[in-house]
Amino acid sequence: MLRIWQRKTQRDWKMELVPLLLLSLLLASIVSAEISPKVGVNYGQLGNNLPSPAKSVRLITKTLKAGRVKIYDADPKILTALKHTNLQVSIMVPNEIISNISSNQSFADQWVHSNVVPFYPATMIRYLLVGNEILSQYNINQTWFDLVPAMRRIKYSLKTHNIHKIKVGTTFAMDVLESSFPPSNGTFRSDISGSVMNPLLQFLNRTKSFFFLDVYPFFPWSSDPVNIKLDYALLKGGNQTYTDPGSGLTYTNLFDQMLDAVHFAMVKLGYENIRIWIAETGWPNGGDYDQIGANIYNAATYNRNVVKKLTAKPPVGTPARPGTVFPACIFALYNENQKTGPGTERHFGLLYPNGSHVFDIDLTGETPESDYKPLPAPLNNEQYKGKIWCVVAKGANRSEVASALTYACGQGNGTCDPIQPGRKCHRPDSVIWHASYAFSSYWAQFRKAGGSCYFNGLAVQTINDPSYGSCKFPSVTL
């Protein structure tokens, strides 16, 4: 989940935009009435301890009271479990077959025939997403240019199968923007604006589809917690506002700023009426010691507030699109223990894998705040100040740890010298000890260059010094 919020120097704002903006507001208010404000959930499966699809669907409908669900493939077991549930379903074409689909109509037809036709319409598939955040892959590659042709072929295939109620789209992260602050200066990246975004927006506009956007205020806030206030990122209201000097619009939360930055980027390419669909949004309920603000209190506060906003009657919209309904799915159904990357990646769930709530939430937005149980106080809303080490996780597979040890020792300059025979940190036949030293040493060297304390789930951060005697483990100091 790559999320970037960039601040750029404001460019001159042309007055010609004003009538276009007014027109877009009028049209948005007209089409919003046709869109359901139901909030759904993203059902990921990157965990080795998750409930069955049948139980998961019951949790989605009964426990969370969701109105939609988005999955990251076309899993037949999940699609079967979703039959006759009245949940609006989004499914996804895998990234790795986009190029094949783009060049082969028969391949596209076969994919639709195998993954849509057997389940539709008993499973209420409403959106077919071609790939996930394809444009976040910064090395320019052929898949970028195959994306729109693949979307066209999928749309044609649906029509061939006499399926007309499924919209075709693709998901974007905020990093499709080159400039996003102030919102009126929202601009698509120059490497994709003409070659990819223009034909893509033309397709969405012609087919009356949506711009599916992943919106995470957590990431811009956590990267700049001094200038972006936490309450502003959590949609807590209050007296904190920001007035965009280009548009004159006043903002009360970061979520609206992010949405409107994308809106203005589309306006600049001449597509002011394409609707935005919130494909993902959420806040992590936990993370690593070096990650700020990832806790249950903030996750509950953000998710409850964003659901309340999205389900408000009449619709609230954003400053640039007042009164607009934004269909949405919260990320995610479960804490998924096999997701890679920082600890926050494994802590976005509304539910634990055993089906219990991480925090109380009702996706209909109808439960009053006073009915929820008190939340645990947040303990990491300020950056941890102290030393952190990276050690082998409890229960890690020894043979996998040995391979990771070899990898860590092969990366740096002298990373593992102290654990060599005869040196002060050497312990004969102690793979776990040596690996913990190697993990800490590697992380201390490479953290600023993007290295993580993860090692495919074999490592965890600790604030308890693992050093022993004269052997001092390298640490990261925040």
C-alpha angle with apex 226: 223 to 232, nearest 5 degrees? 85
- Residue 16: pLDDT over 50: no
What percent of the chain is predicted at pLDDT more than 70? 92
Q: Are strands 167-172 and 242-243 parallel, antiparallel or unpaired?
A: unpaired
Average pLDDT over residues 411-430: 88
Average pLDDT over residues 448-470: 93
Query: pLDDT grade, residue 36 (50/70/90)?
Result: confident
From the candidates 34, 272, 280, 366, which is the catalytic residue? 280
pLDDT value of residue 11: 37
Query: pLDDT grade, residue 429 (50/70/90)?
Result: confident
- Residue 123: pLDDT over 50: yes
Q: How far apart are CA 172 and CA 179, in angstroms?
A: 15
Query: pLDDT grade, residue 257 (50/70/90)?
Result: very high
pLDDT value of residue 139: 66
- Residue 400: pLDDT over 80: yes
Handedness of CA 308, 314, 319, 320 (dihedral sign): positive
Query: What are φ and ψ of residue 22, in 5° steps?
Result: -60, -40
pLDDT value of residue 435: 96
Query: pLDDT grade, residue 6 (50/70/90)?
Result: very low
Q: Which of 135-139, 357-361, 383-387 has the highest mean pLDDT?
A: 357-361
- Residue 33: pLDDT over 90: no
What percent of the chain is predicted at pLDDT more than 90? 86
Tokens 């479960």 sit at which residue?
A: 334
Average pLDDT over residues 449-477: 93
- Residue 22: pLDDT over 90: no
In the chain, what are the domains?
Answer: 17-371 (3.20.20.80), 387-477 (1.20.58.1040)
Ranges 136-145, 197-206, 285-294: which has the least confidence: 136-145
Mean pLDDT of the chain, nearest integer = 91
Torsion of CA 171, 175, 181, 183, to 10 degrees: -10
Enclosing H/E stretch for 170: strand 167-172
Tokens 């070096």 sit at which residue?
A: 290
Q: How far apart are CA 125 and CA 134, in angstroms?
A: 22
Tokens 């308890």 sit at which residue?
A: 464
Average pLDDT over residues 338-364: 96
Query: How do residues 60-73 score in pLDDT, each as one tens digit?
Result: 999 999 999 999 99
Q: How far apart are CA 402 and CA 409, in angstroms?
A: 11
Average pLDDT over residues 31-53: 86
Query: Known catalytic residue: 280?
Result: yes
Q: Where are the beta strands (DSSP E) in 48-124?
A: 68-71, 88-93
From the candidates 16, 34, 96, 133, which is the catalytic residue? 133
Query: How do residues 194-216 score in pLDDT, each as one tens digit?
Result: 999 999 999 999 999 999 999 99
DSSP one-letter string for 91-158: EEE-GGGHHHHHH-HHHHHHHHHHHTTTTTTTS-EEEEEEEESGGG--S--HHHHHHHHHHHHHHHHH
Q: How far apart are CA 396 and CA 450, in angstroms?
A: 23
